[in-house]
């Protein structure tokens, strides 16, 4: 399966990182690079749009947790868009659904990261 990642910045300064494909040991470093770049550029509000992700493993979960840890001391916020039932189940069984705000649409996530 092909993997794609793209970052865009909204006019109000939110970085939206869109991920398509499997998030695993091989692709997680690309997500980490995109997250680090956004944080190093001074972005404090980040949306990870995982609408196109149908598999996530522990290495990718670690990258997402690392993003939260980098943003928290700076009063930043990272939220997720995830619609896949299996991916959302992983967040539930790991308890990470209490760490991340997970939204069904990008519009909801953008509103959630602004609050």
Give 7-54 pLDDT, tens digit per residue: 999 999 999 999 999 999 999 999 999 999 999 999 999 999 999 999
Tell me which residue has tokens 């910045």. Answer: 9
In the chain, what percentage of residues exceed pLDDT 90? 97
CATH of the domain at 107: 3.30.750.24
Domain span holding position 43: 4-114
pLDDT at 2 over 80: yes
| Total tally of structural domains belonging to the chain | 1
- Grouping H, G, I as helix, E, B as strand and the rest as coil, residue 90 is helix
The pLDDT score that the predictor gives to residue 104 is: 96
pLDDT at 1 over 90: no
CA distance 100 to 54: 18
User: pLDDT-derived band of residue 115, with 50, 70 and 90 as boundaries?
Assistant: confident
pTM: 0.95
Do 103 and 80 meet the contact criterion of CB atoms below 8 Å apart? yes
Name the average pLDDT for the chain: 96
């Amino acid at each position: 399966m092909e993997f794609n990642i793209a970052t865009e910045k909204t006019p109000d300064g939110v970085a939206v990182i869109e991920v398509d494909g499997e998030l695993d040991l091989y692709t997680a470093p690309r997500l980490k690079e995109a997250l680090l770049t956004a944080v190093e550029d001074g972005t404090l509000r980040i949306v990870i749009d995982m609408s196109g992700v149908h598999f996530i493993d522990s290495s990718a979960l670690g990258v997402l947790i690392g993003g939260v840890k980098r943003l928290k001391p700076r009063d930043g916020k990272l939220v997720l868009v995830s619609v896949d039932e299996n991916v959302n189940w992983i967040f539930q069984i790991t308890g990470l659904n209490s760490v991340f705000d997970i939204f069904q649409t990008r519009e909801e996530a953008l509103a959630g990261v602004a609050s």
